[in-house]
Amino acid sequence: MAGLSQLLNVARDALTAQSYGLNVTGQNIANASTPGYVRRVAVLETQNLGTQSGGGVRAVGLQRITNDFIERRENQATGTSSAASTRDQTLASIEALFNDGAGTGLGSALNDVFASFSALAANPNDTTTRANVLAAAGAFVDRANATGNTLAQTQIDLKQQAQDTVDQVNQRAQEIAKLDMQIAQASMQGDDASDLKDQRTQKILNMSGLINTHTFTDGNGNTVVQVAGTTIVDGQHAGSLSLDLHADGSIKLLANQSGGGGSEITQFLTGGKLAGIKEARDKDLFDVSQKLNALVFDVASAVNTQHALGVGADGGSGRNVFDIGATSTNAARDLRVSVDVFDHPERIAAASSVFSTPGGSDNAVALSKIFETQIAVGNSKTAAQAYGDLIGSIGSTRANSQRDVETQSAILSQVQSMHQSESGVSLDEEMVNLTKFQNAYQAASKMISVADQLMQTLLNTVGR
């Protein structure tokens, strides 16, 4: 039969267990808004005291309420959403470059060049009109240069961002491997590793935002972290990635190998900031630059060809208006007003023959007519049509990307909400728990006082 002292023992254990429960509740409340914190539940179980019946309670430890499936989905959704929004940021800045609404864009500068040729035709012998042709050509060159330079600078910046991202991935991999080691040590010593596990989950989620990340547990119970299809953390060992450029200037992602060198994994890069950077830089930006350069090249070449046929007021001919390379590569950045005509308005070739200077306007008309001629995109479009197409394609790429960002962020917040629902702290719940453990603690205290009174009664009776 259980004695009074056992009642005291049970009450003591109950006090310990309920205060443990209060502690866990307090911990949950304290971390209610800590990112990556996974709610804990105090695990209590009955305890058999020796051979006697009427056992007490004991706190076995903590349980982290997690769900691997939801965590993996959150990692994946984070990667996809981060890729979409990273790409969209670059597209937004490209789009702003081509915003003609204010009348200061490349399109307006292009229109002004041809309008200046029209004005020259009306008044071929007027110095101001000639100077205006040079001014319009100069403004077109400035806009083309500025646009081309900004695009080129963006490309360089994105390479740097990609490098920073790869560095962060490598850094995270080191941190995860270190946490794995600490978790293993803590488990060996029988300590609670929940906080470390929270941190590791949070680091992996963070890594998912940088690059597509997949995790699984191998046969030995080690957590394996794979990025872009390659294992970067295996147990307590961390690998690393590096960045290089292909011959065509596009980004090349390598998994470093232990013996030196690296194997290319670019084709497996599907998510995270790095994927967004790559798509924006090597696809979107590349496409816009190429179209812009082609347009600038086509316009400048057509103007040069026609201009060279004409004769300046000084009787000279065969001159170019623009300096342009032999191909469209970097045409927008490298475009200049040719030294043939720079600062020499009289050299603008309005007339078609040396015998029709200074009043001849045939060539000025021919120059202005280039505007209506299909000189762009393989002689299939006028310059204005090609520019309109460029604007349209930039606009629709950005619009698609915005939709993509919205869709992906909706998916992400749904998954985050699932994750929260599973692992997040509910203050309401904790308030109930707090009361529950408080009441139990108070009741256990009451048990001690009851046992004490009984003991007193007994002692008084026996002692009398």
Partner 1 sequence: MRVTEQMRYDSVTSNLSQLSSRQAKAAQEAQTGVRVNLPSDDPIAAAQLARLSASQSQVTARRSTINAVRGDAELAESSLQQASDLMASAKELAMQGGNGSLGANERATLAAQVKDIRDQLIGIANTKGSSGYLFGGSATETKPFSTSGAFNGNDDAHVVDIGNSTPSAVNASGAKAFTAAAGGRDVFGDLDALYNALSSNDPTAIATSLDGIDQSRTQITNSQAAIGITLNKLDASDSVQSALDLQNSKTMADVGAADPAKAYSTLMQLNNALQQSVSVSKSILDLAAFKQF
Contacting residues toward partner 1, per CB under 8 A? 32-33, 91, 95-96, 98-101, 107-108, 110-112, 114-115, 118-119, 121-126, 351, 355-362, 365, 368-369, 371-372, 383-385, 387-389, 391-396, 398-399, 402, 413, 416-417, 420-422, 424-432, 435
- Shortest CB 181 distance to partner 1, Å: 30
Q: Which two tokens stand for residue 350?
A: 């309005």
- Shortest CB 88 distance to partner 1, Å: 10
Count CB neighbours of 56 within 10 A.
19
Q: Looking at beta carbons only, is 417 or 457 nearer to partner 1?
A: 417
| In the block, residue with structure tokens 């490098």 | 163
Q: Is the Cα dihedral 121, 125, 127, 130 positive or negative?
A: positive
Of 224, 259, 254, 220, residue with least CA distance to 238: 224
Q: Which two tokens stand for residue 450?
A: 């009851």
- Shortest CB 86 distance to partner 1, Å: 17
Q: Looking at beta carbons only, is 10 or 280 nearer to partner 1?
A: 280
Q: Looking at beta carbons only, is 100 or 323 nearer to partner 1?
A: 100
Q: Looking at beta carbons only, is 4 or 122 nearer to partner 1?
A: 122
- Shortest CB 363 distance to partner 1, Å: 10
Q: Looking at beta carbons only, is 235 or 388 nearer to partner 1?
A: 388
- Shortest CB 407 distance to partner 1, Å: 13
Q: Looking at beta carbons only, is 153 or 421 nearer to partner 1?
A: 421
Q: Looking at beta carbons only, is 123 or 301 nearer to partner 1?
A: 123
Q: Is the Cα dihedral 376, 379, 381, 384 positive or negative?
A: positive
Of 249, 276, 296, residue with least CA distance to 155: 249
- Shortest CB 261 distance to partner 1, Å: 43
Q: What phi, psi does 426 have (nearest 5°)?
A: -105, 115
Q: Looking at beta carbons only, is 326 or 355 nearer to partner 1?
A: 355
State the Cα–Cα distance between residues 91 and 402, nearest whole angstrom.
9
Read off the DSSP letter of residue 134: H
CB contact at 8 A, 349 and 124? no
Of 309, 325, 411, residue with least CA distance to 369: 309
CB contact at 8 A, 208 and 194? no
- Shortest CB 40 distance to partner 1, Å: 14
State the Cα–Cα distance between residues 381 and 392, nearest whole angstrom.
14
State the Cα–Cα distance between residues 439 and 14, nearest whole angstrom.
11
Q: Which two tokens stand for residue 139?
A: 């403004």
CA distances from 88 to 280, 286, 373 (A): 8, 15, 35
- Shortest CB 59 distance to partner 1, Å: 24
- Shortest CB 269 distance to partner 1, Å: 25
Q: Looking at beta carbons only, is 211 or 394 nearer to partner 1?
A: 394
CB contact at 8 A, 237 and 224? no
Read off the DSSP letter of residue 314: T
